[in-house]
Amino acid sequence: MGLMLPGEQPPASGAEHPDHGSLDPADNRTRSSVITARAAHTFEPVGRSVAAARAFVRDTLQGWGFGDVVDDAVVLTSELVTNAVVHAGTAAEVVCLRSGDGVRIEVSDRYPEREIPLQSSGVAMSSPDREGGRGLQLCAALATRWGVEYSPAHKHVWFRLDLPERQVGTRTAGPSVSTELLPLADERVRVAVIQIDSEGAVSAWNDDAQELFGYPAKQIIGKPLTDYAAWPHTPGTSTGIAEALRLSRWEGSYGIRAADGRVVPVYASHLRVRDPQGEPSTVCLLVRDDERAVLATPQRGAAPESAHRADGQSTDPFETFIGSPAPDDLDGLLQRTVERSRDMLDGDAAFLLLATDDETELEVRATTGLPSARQRFARVPVDTGSGRYGTARMPAVHEDLSAVPGAVPLLNGTGMRSVVTVPLKVEGRLTGSLGVAAEGAGRYSNEEALRLQFAADRIALAVESARLGELERLRRGSLSFLVEASDLLAGTLDRDQTLALMAQMTVPTLATWCAVYTIADTASEPYLSYVLHEDEERIDGLKALLGRIDPPEPVPTPGARIWPAPARAAHEAALEASVRSLDDEPHHLGSGIGSTLTTAASVGGETVVLPLVARNRVIGMLVLGKPSEDHFRQENLELAEDLSRRAALALDNSRLYSERMAISQSLQRSLLPPDMPEVPGVEVEVIYRAAGEGNEVGGDFYDLFTIPDGAYGFAIGDVCGTGPEAAAVTGLARHALRLLAREGYSGPAVLERLNNAILDEGERSRFLTLLYGELRPQEDGSALLKVVCAGHPLPLRLRQDGSVEAAAEPQPLLGVMDDLELYEQTVRLEPGDVLLCVTDGITERREGSRMLGDDGLAEVLKGCTGLTAGAVAARVMRAVERFAADSPSDDMAILTMRVPEPQRN
């Protein structure tokens, strides 16, 4: 049973709970008490829930049109939710119930722990300074009625606020102004009326919506609004479009992507309603952002600075201007500042710029009321001329901008006539500039400048603190970005992959699109090597557009410079496409104009060029671009400059690596023997694998060539070591063998002279194992071989019966001793016999402590009876590869010769 508290009336008999249709059982007033709307939300037991509850109640009551009681309701809700989530430590449920003459708000927590003073106790209410009980005191002071209800698991504190008596149609009104001071609008102010169903899809789309955004109703009905909303158009918006559509009432700015690809800034008013079947939907009214006065709810006037809170303490001047709670992010704070400044001076537009570190430029960070958001992140100089009115360091009032063109570059072409600007300073240092503008002339005087300067002084420190916090976060993020970029760029030496990484790291992190130009040498023109856009469907159009204009000038000066050519070309292409479309019949219009306009919109913003300089030479240019009317942040340009230096070095390294690899491979291919001759009556097969990435030739080598008297010389050898040094001795050995053998020297004489040549290399010499022989096919179908095995693995002979034996004896290797006494041995291969010659990369193949060895190779060869020379070589190589899991660390060569058996009739 509920407990009655001070100020509560006893319930009437037969009263219903508010959830069942009656707002207040004891209310006998003549106005309607029937509940017409209900909104509820549960908040977790965390400190930020208090602010969230205030926003929920404010949005709900404003959506119901109960602006007269919003402030009292927010104060009471804040205290009661604080008691629940902070002091009681439980979740809090807030329920708002609307009737025709008032609103009832209930706040429930789950585990009541505090005592409630009873009316009959005679104990006075606690002091306002106490931690507990203050919320109930405020209820008694502000609410029409209030009370507390207990249940075994919940405590409900409720209060009711009645609407004041007022005549029908009375709301709030602005001042009466002369016609010439009214804001300028188009010929016709269009209000788009859009209805969104419970699934977030468009269910209604009026003619004004089609005129504003270019989509016919049949094209957009049934599609989610989130596919077309560019959110948030206004920086600092804490909710998303999906969340805004679920709120009972919402107002604010965002953008709609129009059919031509551009974003139309709009001001929207959302109202959530139910149809007769009870299904929820949202009605959205949208106007152009510069016509927001058509829909915007008038702002509540700021309290005077001398105002005191209910607890007797002075109000913080900062909170007086910004409101409480203040936005906790820089963009939100700046946007709140310009909106409050505009409302304070009854202006049509306002803007806030932040100074760069060197105080030479101002960067636009927040605007309101201007025709578009194109000024965001644009930069203007601090000092635009001599005198007081040419600098942002002093307050300035311009009664008529048409008399001083260019005095405020940000307002050029916006239709604003009068403007007041004041500096933001912290400890005497310029940190920004705040301005309010109006479309009429003579709107502002020194009095308004003093008021605006007073507000700027109150917010300057908070803005600078938030800006420094943002810079610190950006710098930490930049360091992480650069570290990751350096790792990625260092991880490849492939030129094409380096170009792709450069573009992928900048899009969309730093830019909307990117192009990379490369310069082969000082005599070459820049070449468009890579193009990337965050929307893959626009890459082809972007590449075609850049291909039609001259590339940027390769200037080695560091830093980003503006390149207007792409935006100009995009504008001209869009104009030509529009003119062509006017000459065509409607049914002849294709997708060409849409594609052209889309490409133009994506390239029409700011475009910058950063040189790619490596080893004191410009090797290319990195081009970054933004969509129409968009600008780069200075911090992003500095980050892009750091990235371009790292990317230039990586690109040059990949170029040098590619060049050297091409040279290396060309030289290596010159060391390999040309096409081997066909040996009549003998099958010959060679398999060669050089160890190391990119190596085609190593320390192992082979050769087969003709010598006089119808014979053939063959060789297989292994130079100590791998890589280029071993390959040099390989070339020496192969060419010396051919030369000496063709001069008619015998096998031992050839190897002895080669030994002397190797020793003559001095420190560059390498010892060499070599199997050299002369092959002579015989008329009876056999083959006669004379071989010399100088320190090389012995050749193995496979007979038809499957037996395997060594076909030579070991002799000293080359490149060690001066005087060698070598001899040759004769081997006859009968039909069906196979001679297998390998290098030690085959026999020394290891898996842990196991090694294939000569015996293992012989076992593999025994299973090759009846196979061709090519099949024998392939089976041996397959067995070697399977012997160990790791990749081979030594060069490997296999030379097989087989005398085929005669064909039988």
What pLDDT is recorded for position 905? 55
The tokens for 30 are 């003549």
Residue type, 660: R
> Which of 854, 490, 476 has the alpha carbon at shortest distance from 635?
476
d(CA 581, CA 590): 9
Check the CA dihedral 314-315-317-318 and report its sign. Answer: positive
Output the DSSP codes for 712-760: EEEEEEEESS-HHHHHHHHHHHHHHHHHHHHTT--HHHHHHHHHHHHHT
- Considering only residues 372 and 605, tell me which one the structure prediction assigns the higher pLDDT: 605
Average pLDDT over residues 863-878: 92
- pLDDT higher than 90, residue 592: no
Query: Residue 638: which residues within 8 A CB-CB, separation 6 or more?
Result: none
- Does pTM surpass 0.95? no
- pLDDT higher than 50, residue 703: yes
Report the share of the chain in percent with pLDDT over 90. 20
d(CA 700, CA 839): 7
- pLDDT higher than 70, residue 102: yes
CA Rg value for the chain: 43
The tokens for 789 are 């095995």
34 DSSP 8-state letter: B
- pLDDT higher than 80, residue 277: no
Tokens 């007041």 map to which residue? 420
d(CA 587, CA 580): 14
Instruction: Give the 3-state secondary structure of residue 777.
Output: strand
Q: CA distances (Å), 885 to each of 879, 881, 889, 901, in order?
A: 12, 8, 12, 37
765 DSSP 8-state letter: -
Check the CA dihedral 686-689-690-696 and report its sign. Answer: positive
Write the pLDDT tens digit of every residue in 370-405.
765 446 667 777 776 544 456 778 888 888 888 887
Looking at the chain, how many residues does it have? Answer: 905
What pLDDT is recorded for position 14? 35
Average pLDDT over residues 226-239: 62
Query: Residue 133: which residues within 8 A CB-CB, separation 6 or more?
Result: 114, 117, 125, 126
Write the pLDDT tens digit of every residue in 543-587.
888 888 888 888 888 888 888 888 888 777 777 766 665 555 444
> Using 50, 70 and 90 to split pLDDT, how confident is the model at 206?
very high
Q: CA distances (Å), 439 to each of 291, 587, 696, in order?
A: 13, 43, 76
The tokens for 97 are 């119930």
Least confident segment among 11-15, 52-56, 363-367, 645-649: 11-15
Write the pLDDT tens digit of every residue in 883-898.
888 877 788 889 999 9
What pLDDT is recorded for position 826? 93
- Considering only residues 207 and 321, tell me which one the structure prediction assigns the higher pLDDT: 207
> Using 50, 70 and 90 to split pLDDT, how confident is the model at 810?
very high
What pLDDT is recorded for position 367? 85
- pLDDT higher than 90, residue 181: no
Report the share of the chain in percent with pLDDT over 70. 79
What pLDDT is recorded for position 132? 44
Strand pairing partners for 305? none
HSE-up (13 A, CA, CB side) for residue 379:
14
Query: Rounded to a whole number, what is the largest CA-CA distance in the chain?
Result: 135
What pLDDT is recorded for position 195? 93
d(CA 806, CA 797): 6
What pLDDT is recorded for position 19? 39
Write the pLDDT tens digit of every residue in 709-761.
889 999 998 888 666 677 777 788 888 899 999 998 999 999 999 998 888 88
Average pLDDT over residues 426-447: 87
What pLDDT is recorded for position 328? 65
Average pLDDT over residues 520-534: 86
Average pLDDT over residues 502-519: 86
- pLDDT higher than 80, residue 12: no
- pLDDT higher than 80, residue 870: yes
Write the pLDDT tens digit of every residue in 397-426.
888 888 887 778 778 777 788 999 999 988
What pLDDT is recorded for position 439? 85
d(CA 823, CA 811): 8
The tokens for 385 are 């001329």
Average pLDDT over residues 351-361: 82
Least confident segment among 100-114, 195-209, 249-263, 866-880: 100-114
- pLDDT higher than 70, residue 78: yes
